Amino acid sequence: MILPKRLRGMFSNDLSIDLGTANTLIYVRERGIVLDEPSVVAIRHHNGQKVVEAVGMEAKRMLGRTPGNITAIRPLKDGVIADFQVTEKMLQHFIKKVHEASWFQPSPRVLVCVPCLSTEVEKRAIRESALGAGAREVRLIEEPMAAAIGAGLKVEEANGCMVVDVGGGTTEIAIISLNGVVYSDSVRIGGDRFDEAIVNYVRRNYGSVIGDATAERIKKEIGCAYAGSEVREIDVRGRNLAEGVPRSFTLNSDEILEALQEPLTGIVQAVKSALEQSPPELASDIAESGIVLTGGGALLRDIDRLLTEETGLPVIVAEDPLTCVARGGGKAMELMDKHHIDLLSS
């Protein structure tokens, strides 16, 4: 049914989208998180045309298991759009999915979270793809700001708080006070880099190749960030490079800790440099209350302990860290409507 976007908008919900490298989450006011799917699109090449075969969870299962005419791709890389058209298709699919009960083609107002330090071109790409996916109005918010609001921090107070959002592609660090970002930094280290590090470690030490999906499973099940934790083990099957046949072997969490050393050091360095650069008043606020960790990376076992040891500050993991950004985006949208302010510079 073709109706003007405005009219269709009346039958659509306001969406807050955390368009992440690894996962896309959509939050709807009064309904909470309504969609949490991997940012993966499977595309079938048919007579020189690209047809979307599957999106989200289904497409993720195809990652690394596709025949020649299907490619499963992740359209976002390092927190920004790498494949514009596919991102648009993916958003379109997700927006439609959220409005399954609606009679009309949805045209919601959308708030999309973007990494801080993303360039104007990258922001524009996100804005355009959301518009292309049918949104009637697109607002952008910086991820750490949304994360802070979603975590429940009182961002409107004249009190500095520090948020570290460890996402799939990037780690965003921000110091927030009075509804604004005082300092922000973004390092391109995230869950993906952890997986990569595990793949490399296994190849180096076991002479076997494992896929990204297996690496992710290892990370989730036994991955840890701090030496003093409980040691866990996991059985893994990978293709042995020398023999060329699949072999089974056992990994333990200490090995994974060793594998993750490099990316973890990167994150610690970034946090330390943020603390170095924060204005003294805010630094004292942060020392008083601590650092809040959000994002999927915060689920890595004992990552808070690592940061506590390294910085000497209390570090806490927000409740439900995976959905913080999406929830915060939703709340930010309500705040913007209520106070008629543009909470955010972007």
Partner 1 sequence: MNNVNDVTESANQGLPADFETPGAILKAAREKAGLAAGDLARQLNLSESKLLSLEEDQYDKLASDVFAQGYLRRYAKLLGLDDDVIVQRFNEYQALLRQSEQGGEGEENSTSAVAALPRWALPAAVFVVAVVVLTFIYMRTAGDDAKGPIVEPAQQEQSQQRPVQQIENQTEEQQAEEQQIEEAAPELNEPSADALPVQQNEPLQQNEQPQQAPAENSVALPAAEPEPAPVQTPAPAQQEAAPATVEVAAEGEDVLSFAFSEECWVEVSNAQGTVLYADLARAGQTLSVEGEAPFSVMLGNARAVSLTLNGELVSVNPRAGNRTARLTVGG
Site residues, partner 1 (CB under 8 A): 7, 10-11, 30, 151-154, 159, 161, 288-290, 292, 304, 308, 312-319
Q: Which CB, 216 or 304, lies closer to partner 1? A: 304
> Residue 152 Cβ, how far from partner 1 at the closest point, in Å?
4
Q: Which of 259, 116, 94 is nearest to 174 (CA)?
A: 116
> Residue 330 Cβ, how far from partner 1 at the closest point, in Å?
14
Q: Which CB, 207 or 314, lies closer to partner 1? A: 314
Q: Which CB, 246 or 312, lies closer to partner 1? A: 312
Count Cα neighbours of 327 within 13 Å in the Cβ-side half-sphere. 19
Q: Which CB, 227 or 241, lies closer to partner 1? A: 227
**Distances, alpha carbon 326 to alpha carbons 12, 127, 154, 217, in Å:** 18, 17, 17, 24
Q: Which CB, 159 or 273, lies closer to partner 1? A: 159
Q: Which CB, 28 or 257, lies closer to partner 1? A: 28
Q: How many residues does the chain have?
A: 346
> Residue 216 Cβ, how far from partner 1 at the closest point, in Å?
24
> Residue 65 Cβ, how far from partner 1 at the closest point, in Å?
35
Query: Are the CB atoms for 23 and 299 separated by under 8 Å?
Result: no
DSSP class of 176: E
Cβ neighbours of residue 173 under 8 Å, at least 6 residues apart? Answer: 144, 162, 163, 164, 165, 184, 185, 186, 187, 270, 271, 274
| Region at 274 (left for phi over 0; alpha for psi -120 to 50; beta for the rest) | alpha
> Residue 42 Cβ, how far from partner 1 at the closest point, in Å?
35
d(C-alpha 170, C-alpha 184), whole Å: 13
> Residue 92 Cβ, how far from partner 1 at the closest point, in Å?
22
Cβ neighbours of residue 263 under 8 Å, at least 6 residues apart? Answer: 189, 193, 194, 197
Q: Which CB, 219 or 301, lies closer to partner 1? A: 301
> Residue 147 Cβ, how far from partner 1 at the closest point, in Å?
11
